[in-house]
Chains A and B, each alone.
Chain A
Amino acid sequence: MSAVLPGHADDHAHDDHHDHAPTGWRRWVYATNHKDIGTLYLLFAFAMLMIGGLLAMMIRAELFEPGLQFFNPELFNQLTTMHGLIMVFGAIMPAFVGFANWMIPLEIGAPDMAFARMNNLSFWLLIPAAIMLVASFFMPGGAPAAGWTIYAPLTLQMGPSMDMAIFALHVLGASSIMGSINIIVTILNMRAPGMTLMKMPLFVWTWLITAYLLIAVMPVLAGAITMTLTDRHFGTTFFNPAGGGDPVMFQHIFWFFGHPEVYIMILPAFGIISQVVPAFARKKLFGYSSMVYAVASIAILSFIVWAHHMFTTGMPVQGQLFFMYATMLIAVPTAVKIFNWIATMWQGSMTFETPMLFAVGFIFVFTMGGFTGLILAMAPIDLLLQDTYYVVAHFHYVLVAGSLYAMFAGFYYWSPKWTGVMYNERAGKIHFWNSLIAFNVTFFPMHFLGLAGMPRRYADYPAQFTDFNMLASVGAFWFGLTQVYFLFFVLLPVLRGKGEKAPQKPWEGAEGLEWEVPSPAPFHTFETPPKLNAAATRIIG
């Protein structure tokens, strides 16, 4: 049975156990195999990335010059809102779950995830949710236009698409919670004998911690959006001051979810980078235990910083000070991680194939995003920068140059294992350099726009902001085209099996149980628990 797509020639020995396993569409709809489900998640996420990216192109087309050229402001607000919702909930989060599904069982020597059927449901819930989100554009009144942060009481003015989006978010949340339960139970119970927690690959650690974050905060989002729903339709006034409610309470509840959410979107990225860098430096990750403690500290701290998104809401100065200090504190474990990655590279023997390019690119550009985050954490400065393009620049640096680059690094690193073929290295390098340069052309000028006071979520702007907006738009189209290039010249070829046959371990310095199985990984791996060496990195006997 082929590892990735049906029709792909396979040349490895079958197990006869799955002669009765479904083929054709049933293989995918009834999928319980972690590799198939991982593939489904990744393909879904990439499709959503393209859709969210299209919305971004529309936004940047409108913002290319002052004046309204293509869209009225109401539609523009829908574009910005749905771009955010689709990218966060449709692209980034499912992509990391896809990586988790593919790699966690392989890396811990487990045959599959603990709850294979729940795994299936977790994925297939995403499809109706995504359809609802995208279809909301075609509802009366258009898609929700309150920003991805859906603050009350603006949400009370939105049309019926707001209710559909709330429902979609509930479904997405349920999917995430189920996926997280699966991940935690798998990691805690199904590691091969000898793989203690402190011998697990970093990617597994980051997902273990991320899964706890998800279980903790997705219900909080569910609470906030349900209160919004009842305020809209069932006579409650949680967020409506006319009935004794408090609009700011929405923000507290939302950001209590929202801040851990952004760490949910970056911790698995840290895990991927922590595996790619040692492989290409041919040197073990520096400070393994510190890296684990750093991720755990970041996760714990992420619960006590939420109101740094609310510095201008009018909280007392003691509140602002607390949240400022707590937020600045997160810089410390994050810095530790960056130093550890560089220490891994230091005195290594590095080569720069595409996964390493993206990993080094990540370290470089994510750190820039980290610095602007530290600057934003300074409440007096935040007063000037809140709701400006400086914030937009900051989060795109950490989410695109952070999470997305890490995903590309992971894709290039692990796709030979998934597909059995090597991606085109030249195309990979073209993808990397164009992405890196175009990304910076797009988002670096936004720092200037923010410092100059240009507000977010504006369909039109004072003409002095034109030049940097033009530059950002050109960069955005270039970046978007580069991802289309990736689709046609990297992704589609490997999905079709076009490329050099991949060895079992294409990367000389790579370590981990995933490299102990053939490429492509057989449909069933580790059906019996493997016997591991002392470091739990190789199979013996």
Chain B
Amino acid sequence: MKSISTKLASLLLAAGFLPAAYAVNDLPGGPAVRQLNLHEAVTRIAAEQSWLHWFMLITCFVIFVAVFGVMFYSIWKHRKSVGHPPAAFHESVTVEVAWTIVPFLIVIGMALPATKVLVASKDTSNSDLTIKATGYQWKWGYDYINGEGAGIGFLSTLDPTHREMSNEGAKDVPDDYLLKVDNPLVVPVNKKIRIITTANDVIHAWGVPSFGVKQDAIPGFVRDTWFRAEKTGDFYGQCYELCGKEHAYMPIHVKVLAAADYTAWVADQQKKIAAKADDPGKVWTMADITARGEKVYSGTCAACHQANGKGAGPILPLDGSAIVNDADKNKQIQVVLNGRGAMPAWKGQLSDTDIAAAITYTKNHWSNHTGQLVQPAEVLAQRGK
């Protein structure tokens, strides 16, 4: 039977692999090996949540031990095999009232501290910084809207080598496996950060366990949450709402910096923005633009079309594609700008330069040798058409 051999195979696998315990260390700010409890709290809210959890755990455990102590005692003593005869009683209003009222009071006792923490966790007023976190399939985008750093915006994507490692079966992975991004979210310590969540496509969720924060990112809607990190360091989270095939591959990395370091980072970012501002009128050489295109492709397109350009299943290949090899460049430009079928529109997410670069790369890579060069100005001209 198929299921038996599958299980046997897996059992053998287990027997072979179990001795070789996974050699990975705790990740500070992220999960620990064999972690038993919640993350160490970095915000006051997380500390309160942790307290609440201990309170619940201990209360429930005490009740559990009491109730099942009684049950196991009964199993031991009130058995036919030790000669215990059955009693005749089978109702008691007093007892029923008692064990309705007592749990009711216990539940009220649990609800009161929970109310306090919940109300505090929802109060996003008077924040020092406001950052919008946008969920994309499959990465996060951060835009600093208000406060020190306003105007900075970038995408935060899982390191592509980690994604490759996953495909290869995750041998010898680093401690931040599946949690490393190219551009972490950077925030100052001890400041109230309001995070506005939204999404570009489907529902995602932005959550960082160390902060005690989780909020759904819903397309077409804005939600918010807040945190005040009381320690500097690196803290990790993941996407917490099923959002498609790469749901496991869009982590969150928050870097909490001391005030002075944060100011320095902001200044640095603003300089980079100024320098990087792509002039859509710039005329690129083939070598430069394909180098740029390779980066854009591997960071954005390869998730679906694969690094080898061959796609998979319903995702069409680019290697040998008629549209890619078409003499009319506008055909491919239109598809990338406006999407087609399940392929999303990239006009809102990628700049003209990035789109031109990625297209030029695909037109001159693998078995495609069109020799065509798409300039950013050509992409700009196709917008709105």
Contacts and interface: CB of A to CB of B under 8 A. Distances in A.
B6 A67 contact: no
B78 A346 contact: yes
A313 B223 contact: yes
Contacts of B90: 283-288, 344
Contacts of A335: 99, 103
Given A67-B171, A461-B248, A342 B70 contact: yes
A474 B68 CA distance: 28
Interface string A447-463: 01001111111111111
* Most chain B beta-carbon neighbours within 10 Å: one of A141, A345, A350, A456: A350
Nearest to B38: A451
A64 B14 contact: yes
B275 interface: no
A66 B173 contact: yes
B87 A348 contact: yes
Contact of A66 (B80, B96, B177): B177
Contact of B78 (A151, A347, A464): A347
A142 B314 CA distance: 10
Contacts of A455: 238-240, 247-248
Contacts of B139: none
A61 B6 contact: yes
Contact of A477 (B2, B10, B96): B10
Given A68-B169, A345-B74, A454-B31, A381 B223 contact: no
Nearest to A452: B35
Interface stretch (B214-222, B262-270, B277-285, B374-382): B214-222
Contact of A312 (B32, B212, B214): B214
A162 B249 CA distance: 24
B49 A242 contact: no
Nearest to A77: B245
B241 A371 contact: no
Contact of B221 (A140, A314, A332): A314
Given A151-B203, A348-B78, A457-B242, A378 B52 contact: yes
B96 A349 contact: no
A375 interface: yes
A237 to B, nearest CB: 10
A458 B207 CA distance: 15
A186 to B, nearest CB: 27
A247 B219 contact: yes
B260 interface: no
B211 to A, nearest CB: 10
B274 interface: no
A118 B91 CA distance: 40
B99 A339 contact: yes
Given A153-B201, A375-B60, A381 B87 contact: no
Interface in B21-35: 21-22, 24, 26-27, 30-35
A464 B178 contact: no
A350 B103 contact: no
A215 interface: no
A425 interface: no
Interface stretch (B107-115, B146-154, B330-338, B353-361): B107-115
Nearest to A378: B114
B166 interface: yes
A50 B111 CA distance: 41
B184 interface: no
A324 B57 CA distance: 17
Contact of A290 (B75, B96, B240, B246): B96
A145 interface: yes
Contacts of A57: 3, 6-7, 10
A223 to B, nearest CB: 20
A491 to B, nearest CB: 15
Chain B interface residue count: which class? Answer: 35 or more
Interface in A344-385: 344-352, 360, 363-364, 367-368, 371, 374-375, 378-381, 383-384
A480 B1 CA distance: 13
B271 interface: no
A307 to B, nearest CB: 13
Contacts of B103: 331-332, 335-336
Interface in B108-159: 110-111, 114-115, 117-119, 121-122
A457 B85 CA distance: 51
Contacts of B313: 74, 141-142
B86 A283 contact: yes
Contacts of B258: none
Contacts, number: 371
B46 to A, nearest CB: 8
A147 B86 contact: no
Chain A interface residue count: which class? Answer: 35 or more
Contacts of A533: none
Contact of B218 (A140, A146, A313, A454): A313
A466 interface: yes
Contacts of A53: 3
Given A313-B223, A452-B39, A324 B247 contact: no
Given A378-B56, A387-B205, A363 B169 contact: no
A54 interface: yes
A484 B178 CA distance: 36
A68 B167 contact: yes
A25 B121 CA distance: 63
B48 interface: yes
Given A281-B86, A324-B111, A67 B214 contact: no
Interface in A446-500: 448, 451-468, 470, 473-474, 477, 480-481, 484
Interface string B158-182: 0000000111111101011111000
B248 A321 contact: no
Contacts of A289: 91
Given A154-B202, A154-B243, A467-B33, A342 B71 contact: yes
A282 interface: yes
B366 interface: no
Interface in A110-148: 140-142, 145-147
B35 A61 contact: no
Given A283-B90, A380-B118, A477-B10, A466 B22 contact: yes
B86 A453 contact: no
A363 B71 contact: yes
Nearest to B45: A380
14 contacts: A54-B6, A67-B169, A241-B218, A335-B99, A342-B74, A350-B79, A352-B75, A360-B75, A367-B64, A452-B37, A459-B248, A460-B166, A463-B24, A480-B3
Interface of B: 1-4, 6-7, 10-11, 13-14, 17-18, 21-22, 24, 26-27, 30-39, 45-46, 48-49, 52-53, 56-57, 60, 63-64, 67-68, 70-71, 74-75, 78-81, 84-92, 95-96, 99-100, 103-104, 107, 110-111, 114-115, 117-119, 121-122, 165-171, 173, 175-179, 197, 201-203, 205, 207, 209, 212-216, 218-221, 223-224, 236-249, 312-314, 342
Given A54-B6, A67-B170, A470-B14, 14 more contacts: A67-B168, A73-B246, A151-B241, A240-B220, A313-B216, A331-B107, A332-B104, A351-B80, A379-B114, A453-B238, A455-B238, A464-B26, A467-B22, A477-B10
Considering the complex of A and B, which 4 residue pairs feature the smallest CB-CB distances, nearest first?
A: A241-B220, A67-B170, A314-B223, A452-B35
Interface of A: 50, 53-54, 57-58, 60-61, 64-69, 72-74, 77, 140-142, 145-147, 151, 153-154, 157, 159, 240-242, 245-248, 281-290, 312-314, 316-317, 320-321, 324-325, 328-329, 331-333, 335-336, 338-340, 342-352, 360, 363-364, 367-368, 371, 374-375, 378-381, 383-384, 386-388, 448, 451-468, 470, 473-474, 477, 480-481, 484, 509
